[in-house]
Amino acid sequence: MAATSAALVLTACGQDDSGGADSAKGDSATGKAGKAGSREERYKRVIEDPHPRPAEVIWAAGAPTGVARANDGSLLLTYDAGNVEDDEGPAASAWRVVDPRGRTVAEHAEHTDAEAVRPQFKGVRGGFVSVPAAEGTDGVYGIGVHGERHKVTTTETALGSRPGDILVAELEPALIYRPATRTAAPPAGVPDDARHLAVDERGTTWILDQPLTAEHDTVVRQREGRTLGSTPVPKQYQGGKLTARGGTAALALLQEESVRGLLVTTDGGAHWTTLTGGGVPWQDLKRGPEFLVLQALSDGRLIVGEEGGRQWIADDRTNRTFHALKTPKDFTSFAVHGTALYGIVDTTTATYDLADGEGLWTSRDAGRTWQRYEQRG
């Protein structure tokens, strides 16, 4: 991934939350309802509009639901404004492409309903690719860094993973995207008992194989459909989420549906270490494996934690010791792109008001300092 130093124009971490990017939100940028319920009324107009404007949807949403980054540093931000009173009814979604200088180059909005699946994207070389909303490969398409939509060829013929391939959908079914040919297909060699997958920048597919007849789980690594090796998960654990990047691969270790450590390799799978300490209070991760944050930076360092909670980052790429990641606000979601960290502050349910510090935050120095996202127009 390209460096992000030019991707965002940022305000200082200590800036008042009513300024910067939120100044365009009008009379309720501080998160209050505004005079005579003006924010509520405007919000309702946005989600009921059959042809909403992207800027209006983005204003109503307050914070992106996701951030994807292309290899040139361009960002695609997705937004969602749903019905507050009920889990049914009108809603609106939008996306916006921002160039490496922080300028909007394209945007799109749609009127939808509260039950519809919102679009998600992943960054690839030359742009972004959509994540399929349901089982199968239908509906996958690409968006270039200038906002142009392009076709993605989908096939049921499995592809052996290569450098540059991106894992688009982990399972049901698994799906990889090859930017060079704009093709999406299942990865070759994935067993029926696979439970989690990861694909690194070298084109290695890491698979958690969990056959019902075996005594323990196994981590299998493949490239171009050929098995390179396998490693058994320690018998007292079950495997969970996988991540792989920068020569590092890590598997969450579970006991009775609780995360209790990691199985880690930092040399491409030649040697593995079981980590059950290292400065991470594993016993405090109580929300369950589905809320686990486990991601690898492009330099091989790991970040582990919980969605909506605390995170810990490795002190170095050996991933033997970790320290708590200090954040300016409590992030409701968290992402890693290359060596940049992204945190989103948002409300956990649809509301007319905004959360304190709502929006996108980023760090370019492994979490030592954070900046509030601000566009240049």
Asked whether residue 29 carries a pLDDT value surpassing 60, the answer given is: no
- For residue 57, is it left (φ>0), alpha (ψ between -120 and 50) or beta? alpha
Task: Give the model confidence (pLDDT) of 220-232 as tens digits.
Answer: 999 998 999 999 9
Instruction: Give the separation between CA 204 and CA 243, rounded to whole angstroms.
Output: 11
Phi-psi region of 201 (alpha: psi -120 to 50; beta: other; left: phi over 0): alpha
Model pLDDT for residues 170-220, shown as the tens digit of each residue: 987 899 999 999 999 999 989 888 999 999 999 999 999 988 777 789 999
Assigned token pair, 29? 């940028």
Stretch among 168-172, 238-242, 285-289, 352-356 having the lowest mean pLDDT: 168-172
Report cis status (omega within 30 of 0) of the bond before 173: yes
Mean of pLDDT values over 161-171: 92
CA distance 315 to 335: 18
Tell me what pLDDT residue 134 has: 58
Task: Categorize the per-residue pLDDT at 55 as very low, low, confident or very high, splitting at 50, 70 and 90.
Answer: very high
Q: Is 250 exposed, middle or buried (0-12, 13-18, 19+ CB in 10 A)?
A: buried
Q: Is the pLDDT of residue 168 over 80?
A: yes
> Is the model more confident about 215 or about 254?
254
- Does the pLDDT at position 4 exceed 80? no
Percent of the chain at pLDDT exceeding 70: 88
CA–CA separation, 308 and 293 (whole Å): 10
- Residue 115 burial by Cβ neighbours in a 10 Å radius (0-12, 13-18, 19+): exposed
pLDDT cut 90: percent of the chain above it:
73
- How far is the C-alpha of 17 from the C-alpha of 309, rounded, in Å? 21
pTM: 0.86
